[in-house]
Amino acid sequence: MRALIVDDSRAMRALIGRSLREFQIETFEAANGREAMDKLKAGERADLAMVDWNMPEMNGLEFVRTVRSCNDYDAMRIVMVTTEAELGRMGEALDSGANEYLMKPFTKDAMAEKLKLIGCLAA
């Protein structure tokens, strides 16, 4: 299992990465959606993307929509990891193709639950 962590905060990328590696998931990072798409187009493989909503250049929602518009990434699971707590925003992310939604701040257990729900961790 290989995960792409997309967040403009270096500290948040490190925190998410540490948790994922504890789950035996390999990680690589991007600071925004455009950088993440560049890495995917260059051949980096991701089974999972953990994506922040609010980022410069290409935000998380734009990233989700871009990924979902390309059949090459159909198997990728996407979790929005964000402070956007409004139900309408959650629905918008899920309707756009995100598989799950994880609220910041989160616990390792909360992350594990979401990853189990989308089949990225054994139940």
- Predicted structure pTM score: 0.95
Give 2-114's CATH code, choosing from 3.40.640.10, 2.60.40.10, 3.40.50.2300, 3.20.20.70: 3.40.50.2300
Tens-digit pLDDT profile for residues 2-58: 999 999 999 999 999 999 999 999 999 999 999 999 999 999 999 999 999 999 999
Q: 85 pLDDT exceeds 80?
A: no
Q: 87 pLDDT exceeds 90?
A: no
Encode the chain in three state secondary structure: CEEEEECCCHHHHHHHHHHHHHCCCEEEEECCHHHHHHHHHCCCCCCEEEECCCCCCCCHHHHHHHHHCCHHHCCCEEEEEECCCCHHHHHHHHHHCCCEEEECCCCHHHHHHHHHHCCCCCC
Tens-digit pLDDT profile for residues 43-75: 999 999 999 999 999 999 999 999 999 999 999
